[in-house]
Amino acid sequence: MAEQRYEITKATRDKYKVFAVSDVEMKKFANVSVELFGYLKDAKKIDFKIYFRVDAELVEIITPKNFAAELVDLVIHSRNKEYTNLDICVERKDYSKFEHLIHHIREKKIERLLARDPNLDRKTIMTFADLSGASQMIVRGGINKTVAARAREAATKLIDGLMDCHVAIGTLSRMILIDATLYDHSAAVSMMSGIIAKLLMDKTPEEAEKIARAGLYHDVGKTCVPGKLLNKPGRFTPEEFEVIKTHTTLGFEELKKATAAGATIEKEVALVALEHHEKFFGGGYPQNKKGRFEEHANGIHEYARIVSIADVYSALLMKRVYKEAYDQAHSLAVMRNLAPTDYDPNIWSKFEQSVTQSINFYTAMERATARDKGRILMLDDAGQLQEINAKKNKSAS
**Tens digits of residue pLDDT in 175-215:** 888 888 888 899 999 999 999 999 999 999 999 999 999 99
Least confident segment among 5-14, 29-38, 74-83, 157-166 = 74-83
3-state secondary structure of 327: coil
**Tens digits of residue pLDDT in 367-380:** 764 445 545 455 55
**Tens digits of residue pLDDT in 101-130:** 998 998 899 899 888 888 888 889 989 989
For residue 319, the surrounding DSSP H or E stretch is: none
Q: How far apart are CA 139 and CA 258, in angstroms?
A: 14
Domain residue ranges of the chain, discontinuous segments joined by +: 1-94, 117-361, 367-396
Q: Which residues are registered as beta bridge partners of 60?
A: 17, 51
> 382 vs 116, 354, 355, 358, 360, CA distance in Å?
27, 9, 11, 10, 8
Least confident segment among 1-5, 75-79, 287-291 = 1-5
Q: What is the mean pLDDT of the chain?
A: 86
**Tens digits of residue pLDDT in 296-330:** 999 999 999 999 999 999 999 987 766 788 999 99
For every residue of 150-188, DSSP letters joined together read: HHHHHHHHHHHH---HHHHHHHHHHHHHH-GGG--HHHH
For every residue of 257-316, DSSP letters joined together read: HHHHTT----HHHHHHHHHTT--TTS--SSS---SBTTT-TTSBPHHHHHHHHHHHHHHH
- In contact, 71 and 62? CB cutoff 8 Å: yes
Instruction: Inform me whether the pLDDT recorded for 226 exceeds 80.
Output: no
Q: How far apart are CA 111 and CA 261, in angstroms?
A: 40
Query: Is 138 exposed, middle or buried (CB count within 10 Å of its CB: 0-12, 13-18, 19+)?
Result: buried
The domain 117-361 is placed in CATH, from the list 1.20.1250.20, 3.40.640.10, 3.30.2030.30, 1.10.3210.10, at 1.10.3210.10
> Which pLDDT value is given to residue 373?
52
- In contact, 221 and 140? CB cutoff 8 Å: no
Instruction: Inform me whether the pLDDT recorded for 46 exceeds 70.
Output: yes
> Which pLDDT value is given to residue 79?
76
3-state secondary structure of 119: coil
Residue 309 CB partners (closer than 8 Å, separation 6+) = 192, 196, 335, 343, 344, 347, 348, 351
Residue 42 CB partners (closer than 8 Å, separation 6+) = 105, 108, 109
